[in-house]
């Protein structure tokens, strides 16, 4: 089970995988904002890897 404590001990690849699998509930503005932030962070991380 993933919670704030287990996230602290996850590897980068585990975190990336988890972020790619998450989607926000429609109408939940905070969740939608968080999803947009995570997706942008992933894009930036991919660009840095090139």
Digit-coded pLDDT (tens) for 1-50:
688 899 889 888 888 888 888 888 889 999 899 888 888 988 888 888 77
pLDDT score at 12:
83
pLDDT score at 29:
92
Task: Name, in order, each residue with C-beta under 8 angstroms of 31's C-beta and a sequence gap of 6 or more.
Answer: 24, 25
């Amino acid at each position: 089970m993933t919670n704030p404590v287990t996230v602290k001990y996850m590897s980068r690849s585990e975190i990336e995988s988890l972020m790619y699998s998450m989607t926000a509930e429609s109408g939940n503005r905070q969740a939608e904002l968080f999803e947009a932030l995570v997706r942008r962070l992933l894009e930036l991380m991919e660009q840095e890897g090139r």
